[in-house]
C-alpha cells in the first residue's frame, strides 16, 4: 500500500512538472504570435532597420524549432535580447511611439515576457520538488524501480549572467 501511495505521489509531481513546462510553452506561443504583428508595425515606420528585423525573425524561428527544454530556454533568452533593439528603434520614430497599435503590441509583449519569467520560476520550483522527491528516501526506491528520472532546471545562459555596463 505504501508503494502505491508513493508511486501515485511521484506521478502527480511528474505531471506537475509537465504542466509547468506546458504553461511556459503557452506563453512562448503567445509571444511567437505577437512578434510578427509588432515587426510589421515597426517596419512601416523604420524600413531601413533591416538587421534588427532579420535578427528577431531568426531568433523567433530558433525558439519554434528548439527540441529540448534547455534549447528552448536558450533560444527564448536570445529572442528576448533581440527584442530590445527593436524597442529602441521606436525612440528614433516619434510617430511610431505614438501609434496605438505599436503601444498595444508593445504592452502585450511586455506582459507576455513577464508571464514567461514567472512561468520559468514556477517550472524550476516544480522541478526542484520533483527532483527532491525522487532522490530522497523512501521515494527514491520507488522512483528508481519505476523509471523516474531527474528533470533539468531552466538556467540562464552564461551571456546573460554578466552585469550590464552602464555608461553616461
The verdict on residue 16 lying in a domain is yes
The verdict on residue 100 lying in a domain is yes
pLDDT at 163: 58
pLDDT tens, residue by residue, 46-88 = 665 778 878 888 998 998 898 888 888 888 888 888 888 877 7
The verdict on residue 131 lying in a domain is yes
Rounded alpha-carbon distances, angstroms, from residue 150 to 12, 103, 136, 155: 15, 42, 12, 15
The verdict on residue 28 lying in a domain is yes
The verdict on residue 167 lying in a domain is no
pLDDT at 168: 42
pLDDT at 93: 74
pLDDT band at 16 (very low <50, low <70, confident <90, very high): very high
The verdict on residue 81 lying in a domain is yes
pLDDT at 167: 54
In the structure grid, which three cell numbers stand for residue 34, read together? 505577437
The verdict on residue 168 lying in a domain is no
- 57 vs 50: CA distance, rounded Å: 11
pLDDT band at 20 (very low <50, low <70, confident <90, very high): very high
Q: Looking at the predicted structure, is the pLDDT value of residue 1 above 70?
A: yes
Break the chain down into helix, strand, coil percent, rounded to 5: 80, 0, 20
- What is the average pLDDT score of the chain? 85
Provide the b/e sequence for 120-150 (b: ≥16 CB within 10 Å). bebbbebbeebbebbeeeebbebbeeeebee
The verdict on residue 166 lying in a domain is no
- 35 or 126, which is more confident? 126
pLDDT tens, residue by residue, 112-148 = 989 998 999 999 999 999 999 999 999 999 999 999 9
pLDDT at 22: 94
* Domain count for the chain: 1
**For the domain that residue 27 is a member of, what is the CATH number?**
1.20.1440.20
pLDDT at 156: 72
* Span 10-14, average pLDDT: 97
Whole domain around residue 47: which residue ranges?
2-161
Amino acid at each position: 500500500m505504501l508503494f502505491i501511495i508513493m508511486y501515485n505521489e511521484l506521478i502527480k509531481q511528474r505531471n506537475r512538472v509537465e504542466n509547468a513546462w506546458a504553461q511556459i510553452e503557452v506563453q512562448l506561443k503567445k509571444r511567437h504570435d505577437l512578434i510578427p504583428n509588432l515587426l510589421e508595425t515597426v517596419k512601416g515606420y523604420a524600413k531601413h532597420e533591416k538587421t534588427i528585423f532579420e535578427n528577431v525573425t531568426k531568433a523567433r524561428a530558433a525558439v519554434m524549432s528548439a527540441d529540448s527544454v534547455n534549447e528552448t530556454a536558450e533560444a527564448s533568452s536570445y529572442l528576448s535580447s533581440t527584442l530590445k533593439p527593436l524597442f529602441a528603434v521606436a525612440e528614433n520614430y516619434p510617430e511610431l511611439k505614438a501609434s496605438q497599435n505599436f503601444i498595444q503590441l508593445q504592452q502585450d509583449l511586455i506582459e507576455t515576457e513577464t508571464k514567461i519569467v514567472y512561468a520559468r520560476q514556477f517550472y524550476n520550483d516544480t522541478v526542484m520538488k520533483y527532483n527532491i522527491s525522487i532522490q530522497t528516501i523512501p521515494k527514491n526506491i520507488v522512483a528508481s524501480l519505476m523509471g523516474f528520472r531527474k528533470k533539468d532546471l531552466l538556467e540562464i545562459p552564461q551571456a546573460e549572467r554578466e552585469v550590464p555596463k552602464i555608461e553616461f
